[in-house]
Structure 1
Amino acid sequence: MSNAPTLFTFFSGAGFLDLGFEDSGYKVSFVNEYHKPFMDTYIHSRRALQHPEPEFGYHLEDISVFTEEPNKDELSKMVRACRARNELIGFIGGPPCPDFSVGGKNRGSEGENGKLTATYVTLICQQQPDFFVFENVKGLWRTKKHREFFEEMKAMLREHGYSTTERLIDAMEYGVPQQRERIILIGFKNETLKNMNIPVENGTSLDDVFPWLNRIKYTKEQLQSIPFPTQDPFQEDGTLGKPVGVPDELTVEYWFEKNDVYQHPNANLYFQPRAGLAKFLVIPEGDDSKKSYKRLHRWRYSPTAAYGNNEVHLHPYKARRLSVSEALAIQSLPKAYTLPPDITLSNAFKTVGNGVPYLASRGIAETILDFLQ
């Protein structure tokens, strides 16, 4: 199959995951998202980047409508239309994860968000794409109850003709200036694998044959040995030399410059403190030890870009919180990626924090292509 794979994307958010795949040669044909501000951002950013509109459009609704008639049949028709053109079809998505995260509700598969994981798996089993990508928090592995649910989902996929592989990735491995661990589960239809002459027995793991390390720039061991700085006294607009042995691309300062964050269209979007600035002036550069009011270090990576639950992240050398343009840079997005000017601050930060770091999604997309070829 010479054509680049065609994607149906779910829980698409503002399209960070989709963009990484698209810039690797995939074609986005169908987009589904439930939260209107995310969808508005997705559409705005596509136009800003001059990407073509998805062939089957944008679908602003709960994913569960596609598991039932008449929408189930409509989706099947779209999938069949791609098949008729001999295209490989992929479903990609990261169901909302608060129910599996320590910072969230931890309700697991019983929570409203947890149920969406099962819905996504049901959809894959019904529509039988050639491959799928499922992204979620590491909490899905770490708790016994969540792990059992995850294993049940994989068993269901195996019963419906899929072989899978999974890995706990860290975005930094792909050159993202942010420590962000996520589970990536990838599955391929056994029939598709057979057509590609990849020998597979039903229900076996693909862990030994899937080239997970192909696109990784830094191994976990290498990352541990980098002499990142810890803390320096806060100096408003002060200068600080970069330590020897720290890769540029893993520092927030490199990305702030690369994306020209102070001239970016979203540069002035940041929360103003209700109280005085006193607190902003005393936290050292690089002190991210507390749950909130973490100050980034310019010559280090950022902690996970999650800005909900009072997780306030401060600029390394300015007496303020991070701006949206800086948060986008920490997510390793291209400079041309922008959020709509009329988006609310809370939706803007929620949008950025929920996305998969762009370079990590590109790395995963390219790894799948390596495997398919």
Structure 2
Amino acid sequence: MMTQEKPKIISLFSGCGGLDLGFHKAGYQTVWANDFEHFACETFSSYFGNGIIVEGDIEQIDPYKDKSIPDCDLILGGFPCQDFSMIWKQPGLNGKRGNLYKSFLRFVDAKKPKVFIAENVKGLLTANNKKAIQQIIKDFESIMPGYIVTPKLYNFADYGVPQFRERVLIVGVRIDTGFNFTHPAPTHGPKGQYPYVTAGEAIANANDIPFNNEHMNIAERTKELLKLIPEGGNFTSIPKEHPLYVKGMISHVYRRLKLDEPSKTIIAAGGGGTHGYHWPEPRALTNRERARLQSFPDDFIFKGTVADVRKQIGNAVPPNGVFALAKSLLPLFTGNYHHADLEKKSAEFQSMTLKERLDLSIAV
């Protein structure tokens, strides 16, 4: 039976709304959202409308009893990922933020959506000697009436984002729907139909946009340092014997764009040359250029200070990166699909070893 209504989203750990935007572009509608960060909530409201996002601590919200939280067709969100990041030490489920995924679990258990999508960093797959992802899958699958959970490591450049950005997307489909979900194939790059969207294409004419385009003050020493770094290079391009040589721990330090390919991963915060740098101009990227590299449209206006906006952009899911996923799930809400025996498929998944299960998470 076809439905004319847009599938309804509950959005958790929403940030500024990148994940929501990817789904909205495919025909969905967010009816309730939550985040803890004030300016992220302001940004979300300015684009998606007032009265949707609730600012506050998700651990203090009870989805079982709070009647203001509507029913939904799907739940999506990126539970905090710092404790699973591969850049820093990985405390995983033992970290202060690692167990916030349990709030996601509570919402899924309370609302029983047909599908949920949880996003996290690549490091989730190896945290706690792979015990973190194993426990998370087990917990999600234990929610009644039963979900079949499929994690996958995506590189969003393969889906039209002008940025090499790897993230895990965990998709859980309610077994009684009979919807035999498979992750969408890449659309761009060597595995797709279209070429990569390049950094040069993405930032072209970005300076013409009046919003979130402030240029950072940059020291003359830094300008001279950047002149020693070629297109696509980083701090390692500076000769060690040069008086402007700097030490760096990670490849982000003084990383300059390479215009004919997607950019490297945009990060949310940090000093010491981690801002991401333009080519050919010897300067840091503006927030609008970062937003372009994250595939946000130019009418998406971010609220807060320059640092607040950088954080929102760097923490966001790139909207274009999940558009193919959003489209692939649409038949679930129209009923226009062949009903499969997911009980059998779930049993097959349960019989797999952990290694076999995690092999499903290799980048598509």
TM class by smaller structure: 0.7 to 0.9
Does structure 2 conserve the Cα–Cα contact (< 8 Å) formed by 1:210 and 1:371? Answer: no
Are the structure 2 counterparts of residues 30 and 328 from structure 1 closer, same or farther at C-alpha, using a change threshold of 3 Å?
Answer: same
| Partner SS for 2:308 | helix
C-alpha distance in 2, partners of 1:268/1:78? 36
Partners of 2:89 and 2:39 in 1: CA distance: 23
Amino acid paired to 1:266: F
Partners of 2:38 and 2:323 in 1: CA distance: 25
Say whether 1:73 aligns with 2:65. yes
What count of residue pairs does the alignment treat as equivalent?
A: 312
Partner in structure 2 of residue 150 of structure 1: 133
Give aligned-pair identity as a percent: 25
Deviation at 1:53, TM superposition (A): 4.3
Q: Is the 8 A contact 2:10 2:30 kept in 1?
A: yes
* Aligned partner of residue 348 in structure 1, secondary structure: helix
**SS in structure 1 opposite 2:207?**
coil
Q: Which 4+ stretches in 1 moved above 3 angstroms?
A: 51-54, 219-223, 288-291, 370-373
**SS of corresponding position for 1:157:** helix
Q: State the Cα distance separating 1:221 from its structure 2 match.
A: 4.7
After TM superposition, the structure 1 = structure 2 runs for residues 1-373 of structure 1, keeping only pairs within 5 Å, are: 2=3, 3-44=5-46, 46=47, 51-53=48-50, 57-67=52-62, 72-75=64-67, 78-79=69-70, 82=71, 89-143=73-127, 145=128, 147-160=130-143, 161-191=146-176, 193-194=177-178, 198=179, 209-214=180-185, 216-218=186-188, 221=191, 247=195, 250-257=197-204, 260-266=205-211, 268-274=213-219, 276=221, 277-288=223-234, 290-310=251-271, 311-340=274-303, 343-370=304-331, 372=333, 373=336
Counterpart Cα distance in 2 of 1:27 and 1:175: 22
Q: Tell whether the 8 Å contact from 2:173 to 2:181 is kept in structure 1 after alignment.
A: no
Q: Which residue of 2 aligns with 1:241?
A: none
1:204 aligned residue: none
1:211 Cα deviation after fit: 3.2
Asked whether the equivalents of residues 109 and 146 of structure 1 are also in contact (C-alpha less than 8 Å), the reply is no
Structure 1 gaps of 5+ residues are: 83-87, 199-208, 224-245
Return the TM-score normalized by structure 1. Answer: 0.77
Determine if contact 1:171/1:360 at 8 Å carries over to the other structure: yes
Distance 2:49 2:302 in 1: 18
TM-score, normalised by the number of residues in structure 2? 0.79
Q: Secondary structure at the match of 2:154?
A: strand
Aligned AA (2:206):
V
Contact 2:119–2:170 (8 Å) recurs in 1: yes
Cα deviation digits, residues 199-225 of structure 1 (max 9, x gap)? xxxxxxxxxx423235x31366569xx
Contact 1:140 1:146 in 2 (8 A): no
| One-letter amino acid matched to 1:153 | I
In the other structure, the counterpart of 2:356 is none
- The 3 A distance-change label for structure 1 pair 267 and 285 is farther
Letter in 2 for 1:73: K
For residues 160-211 of structure 1, the C-alpha deviation after alignment (integer angstroms, 9 at most, x for no partner) is: 11111121111011111100011101112223x14xxx4xxxxxxxxxx423
- Given that 1:307 and 1:313 are in contact with CA atoms closer than 8 Å, whether structure 2 keeps it comes out as no
Q: Decide whether aligned partners of structure 1 residues 150 and 353 sit closer, same or farther in structure 2, where only a CA change above 3 A counts.
A: same
Deviations 1:10-48 (A, max 9, x none): 11101111111111111110010101111112122x1xx
Looking at structure 2, the residues matched to 272 and 307 of structure 1 have their Cα atoms a distance apart, in angstroms, of: 19
8 Å contact from structure 2 (residues 157, 189) kept in 1: no
Amino acid at match of 2:308: N
The one-letter amino acid of 2:135's match is: E
Give the root-mean-square deviation of aligned CA atoms: 2.3
1:138 aligned partner, one-letter code: K
Q: Is the 8 A contact 1:98 1:105 kept in 2?
A: no
2:183, 2:113 → 1: CA distance?
21
Query: Cα deviation per residue 1:145-165 (whole Å; 9 max; x = unaligned)?
Result: 162122112212222111111
Which residue identity does 1:270 align to in structure 2? H
Alignment CA distance shift 1:59-1:307 (3 Å): closer
